[in-house]
Structure 1
Amino acid sequence: MQNFEKIIDDSNLSTKRKTTSKILTVEDRKQWWRSRFTLDFQLQDILHHVESKWFGGFISGIFTNDNDVENESKNVFHKFKQDLMKILKDCLTVSDDKSNIERFLQFNEFIYYCFYSMEEYNYELVDDLIKFITINMNSHGRINLIDKVNKNKQNVTSNNKNNSNNNNNNNNSNSNNSQHIVLIPNANCSNFPWESMEFLRSKSISRMPSIHMLLDLVKSNTNNKNKLMFVDKSNLYYLINPSGEIGKLSSNEHEDYQDSILCEILKSHLFVYIGHGGCDQYIKVSKLFKKCGNNQDSSNKLPPSLLLGCSSVKLDNCNYNYNSNDYNGSGHDYGMKKLDLTNCVVQSRSKCTLKYLNGSAPVVYGLPMYLK
């Protein structure tokens, strides 16, 4: 994580005035862009390392829906599983009754689905899954893998190639479903752009600070017949770069200005902030909680928020309202397509010139939301 933090520090430094003020010539600008693209490639390498070394062979199945195996053609998946078990049995030796081999191969269905769901043969991923199986089976002490497994690794996913069209069709149908992933990262790793890893990059993803908050948010939406969150975009409240205006106010006027901002936010259906930070420097958190502390008063419920500012999703001391959907980054015009904000974020990442350095910036907290 130190390398990641250094990339972020270098990126922040490259955009500060003391750096950009020194860009005077065309060559200076080219050099500046070269340094930015270098940081972008370095971040891409770190994301790839985390994906391949931390998640490994499980990336093909770890974030799939629990019903995906059932949705697949059961006969095809069952045949693939049996063929895979046969290959593994041929590669194993036991010190006693060989009938025990099949018993030891009764892994959770998810393990076999990780093999099955690979769109194409990938040596690193297959090797990682084979090592996982090997370690688990060797823990029994009587089962050993022989060298033959190295010659059969590509056979492990041979059925996948034969059924690639079937898998692709299923994957396409699954991607069209309203499937959504909620990440709850630990505070120590919440600044890492998990959503930008290649195997998650195309998925609808948002974050929540805790499971408890997620359950509360889901329960609050159970009465919604459509099971979708819609926001009336005709009732918006914009707060655009208020720092200049606030700087001219006295302390008493500042207090009144804060109160007026908070009242306008609570009356709106969608709050849009464009400025530095996440707007918390203009509204005291204590006032915010005091206003919204009464759960019985629906008029004091914070609306979903679009926070378009640097570090606007940084969590400090858990002072965060989980009833809002916050988006930090830049949007994109998708015409008449019906997309929730999380999918808009997904598609906007690839529109950035620096697909990782800037494309990783948008983060959504809450659940998917549609504008109407």
Structure 2
Amino acid sequence: MSSLTDSTIAMPMSTLTRRTQDRHSTRRTVNTLLAKSAAAFQSALELMDQDGQVEDVRGASMSLALLHAFQTSLGEGGEGLTRAAADLLASTASITMRREMVDIIEAKFIDGPLDDLKWPSLPPQAAAADNESDSDADEAIRSAWTTISNRLQSPRLASSPPVDLSSLPHNWAVVSISVASDHSTMFLSRHQRDHPPLVLCLPLDRTGERESEENELPFQAALDELQEIVRESDDQAQAAKHISDSEAKQEWWAFRTALDERMGELLASMEKNWLGSFKSILKPQSSVTPNRIQVLRRKMEKIFNEALAGIGTDLRRVKTVRLDDAVLACFATLDGQTTDEEIEDLVYFVLDFYGFHGIPVAIAELDIDQIGVDVKQALHEIAISHSTPPTSAQPEHLLLVLDKNVQGFPWESIPVLRGLPVSRIPSLPFLLDHLEFARLTSPEKAGLLSVNARKVFYVLNPSGDLARTQTHFEPWLEQMKARAGWKGIVGRPPTDMELANALRDCDLVLYFGHGGAEQYIRSKKVRVLPKCATTMLWGCSSGHLKDQGDLDRTGTAWTYMMAGCPSLIANLWDVTDRDIDRLSTEVHKKLGLDASHLGSSSSSTGLSTASSSFSLAPRRLGGKSAPSEPALLPLSGLSTVQALNSSRDDCRLKYLTGAAPVVYGLPVYMF
């Protein structure tokens, strides 16, 4: 019992093959106390859910999830506790946003003096005949936001039914990452349609505890290192303007290259020390079949039964408990390339699992190294003999729900995720609301999220001091303006009305300037837009969320999410113009945003307020196009998320620059 808080716990943990009455009074007493404590926190959440202090709601949610983990480790509960903990962890990362959205949705449709983005309009009777389709589209948008508002006002954290994942595409998985307030424990949860939820409770110092050594990467040390790397990078970027001779340039690049290596080492260390073998919760599981799980079970049971029998453990008791299939499915994604440290992490997890169920395990008498060798060989054999091609034409897309403690880290670039389709969302309920909005505002009911790649607005060098960036992109943008009907602004600041109209009426907005265009349009005007285009903000720190202490983080990225932006590309920290220009160019190419993918058009495509920001289904490719429009082709087989994450290595500094841009929102395809 004393090792409970120092051990990794999975939910669900086990399947009992034979349930026996627990005769240990201590265990019964602990289970009773845990149940009473969980009930108390549940009651507290019911009182605080709607208007309690954010830090109190978050603390109660994390405590309740931890209590559920302890209950599960002691054989209590079941799928109900696991689902409750998983739903809590995936829902509490953006409490403030959830509350603000109710007022923001109401403000989206205020008519009159407060709406300064519109010219005075004709009375409804006089204007109705002008554009009936526009009116229908606007009404659909209003109705969709109203539906979401009603849902937001109902309790979501306490006494709520399990999250309904039926609208989630089969190849999407949602993983939440949270860290306790004392930075001692990391929680991960995984949701995927038609799969049982999975929760992991990982002590961040579990490796040091086992080896009686200091923690190799305390959470605060990792946070300090990230901030130091970014600060030194900013200082060096500012100093670049004063460097002229070749020797100084070489020193400047040598220093930045060293910073780039430090960033890569930090991300590798995070994966090694914090996640260990449980990095597998982040990996695609489309190739994990029921047969593969059962083969892994047989091999694992054989290895551990032989090891435990060798030290005199009663195998009859060992065989009364079995690891749950959801846990084995997670481990089944590992292979022979898994490091020895990660294998050791898995071995100790299984041994702790037996200990939690009252089976004495004399770890000092076990040959941990040999068990590790056997487990690694088993994983290698399974990976070779049970490798199967993906069952879906689309790769598995991972959506990360990150709490305020971990949002500053570029998780998309840790080794296990580097290059894979990964994006960020505020919370699981927010994702489901986003999908609901798309369905309610589009006549199509299934398919890919798509935008019209001809309905594009761009802002290039609005401050006038990014001459190199303007020289790099202007020829391409001018060509797209002539061939595809794009519209935009070059070399001058846009007005807030120009930006608001573009975000509301276009399908895609590209911004090549400083920051996230906050100096040109207030966040309030963005938030209250009834709909918002897919957006790429390539400026420095455009996607950075500011630390607010105990409160939720805030920033431009959340502003665009509240406006209904389906997909936002933005940078977590400051980057140099030449390197980010190189990366963004690769992203545009991989999305097919060039004239060769679009037929020529003699007329520009105007801005239509009737079109929705995005559709849940791709436009039909074989149908007839309007006479004034070029034939619309699928520009690329890659989504915005795939295009970005596959371009990180195309810049010179693969981590200092390559890890900076991230996607907030959903994968969107260009048509």
Query: Into which bin does the TM-score normalised by the smaller protein fall?
Result: 0.7 to 0.9
Deviating above 6 A after TM superposition, structure 1's stretches of 4 or more consecutive aligned residues are none
Alignment partners' CA distance in 1, 2:408 and 2:392? 27
**Counterpart contact for 2:494–2:520, Cα < 8 Å:** no
Which of 501, 508, 513 matches 1:270? 508
What is the 5 A alignment of 1:33-72? Answer: 33-65=253-285, 68-69=287-288, 72=289
Which of 532, 537, 549 matches 1:307? 537
Does 1:101 pair with 2:331?
no
Alignment partners' CA distance in 1, 2:538 and 2:314? 65
**Structure 1 pair 58/369, CA: closer, same or farther in 2 (3 Å)?**
same
**Structure 1 pair 234/255, CA: closer, same or farther in 2 (3 Å)?**
closer
Does 1:360 pair with 2:666?
no
SS in 2 for 1:350: helix
Alignment partners' CA distance in 1, 2:509 and 2:456? 6
SS in 2 for 1:152: helix
**Structure 1 pair 256/2, CA: closer, same or farther in 2 (3 Å)?**
closer
**Structure 1 pair 301/236, CA: closer, same or farther in 2 (3 Å)?**
same
How far apart are 1:306 and its partner, in Å?
1.1
**Structure 1 pair 371/154, CA: closer, same or farther in 2 (3 Å)?**
same
Alignment RMSD (CA, Å):
2.6
**Structure 1 pair 257/270, CA: closer, same or farther in 2 (3 Å)?**
same
SS in 1 for 2:650: coil
What is the 5 A alignment of 1:138-287? Answer: 138-144=355-361, 145=363, 146-167=365-386, 169-170=387-388, 172-173=389-390, 177-222=394-439, 224-244=444-464, 257-287=495-525
How far apart are 1:79 and its partner, in Å?
2.6
How many pairs are equivalent? 347
Alignment partners' CA distance in 2, 1:120 and 1:160? 6
Match of 1:10 in 2: 232
**Structure 1 pair 306/21, CA: closer, same or farther in 2 (3 Å)?**
closer
Which has the higher Rg, Structure 1 or Structure 2? 2
**Structure 1 pair 118/255, CA: closer, same or farther in 2 (3 Å)?**
closer
Alignment partners' CA distance in 2, 1:166 and 1:288? 52
Which of 244, 250, 262 matches 1:24? 244
Match of 2:297 in 1: 81
Does 1:345 pair with 2:649?
no
Q: Which runs of 5+ in 1 are unaligned?
A: 246-253, 293-299
Alignment partners' CA distance in 2, 1:114 and 1:88? 18
Q: Deviations over 1:108-155 (max 9, x none)?
A: 223333443222153111100111122232234542143234323111
Match of 1:112 in 2: 328
Alignment partners' CA distance in 1, 2:392 and 2:277? 21
**Counterpart contact for 2:419–2:648, Cα < 8 Å:** no
**Counterpart contact for 1:331–1:348, Cα < 8 Å:** no
Match of 1:295 in 2: none
Match of 1:320 in 2: 559
How far apart are 1:264 and its partner, in Å?
3.1
Alignment partners' CA distance in 2, 1:90 and 1:218? 50
Letter in 2 for 1:60: S
**Counterpart contact for 1:272–1:305, Cα < 8 Å:** yes
Alignment partners' CA distance in 2, 1:236 and 1:134? 57
How far apart are 1:47 and its partner, in Å?
0.4
SS in 1 for 2:395: coil
**Counterpart contact for 1:205–1:342, Cα < 8 Å:** yes
Q: Which runs of 5+ in 2 are unaligned?
A: 1-222, 466-491, 547-553, 571-579, 593-634
Alignment partners' CA distance in 1, 2:497 and 2:330? 53
How far apart are 1:283 and its partner, in Å?
0.6
SS in 1 for 2:509: strand
Q: Which deviates the most, 279-288 or 40-49?
A: 279-288
How far apart are 1:173 and its partner, in Å?
2.2
**Structure 1 pair 175/127, CA: closer, same or farther in 2 (3 Å)?**
farther
Alignment partners' CA distance in 1, 2:495 and 2:366? 74
Match of 1:296 in 2: none
Alignment partners' CA distance in 2, 1:240 and 1:190? 29
SS in 2 for 1:187: coil
Alignment partners' CA distance in 1, 2:353 and 2:381? 29
How far apart are 1:351 and its partner, in Å?
0.9
Normalized against structure 2, the TM-score is what?
0.48
Taking only the aligned residue pairs, the percentage that are identical comes to: 27
**Structure 1 pair 219/41, CA: closer, same or farther in 2 (3 Å)?**
same
Q: Deviations over 1:162-196 (max 9, x none)?
A: 343345x42x5268533211111112321210000
**Structure 1 pair 142/120, CA: closer, same or farther in 2 (3 Å)?**
closer
How far apart are 1:255 and its partner, in Å?
12
SS in 2 for 1:312: coil
Alignment partners' CA distance in 2, 1:3 and 1:256? 37
**Counterpart contact for 1:115–1:157, Cα < 8 Å:** no
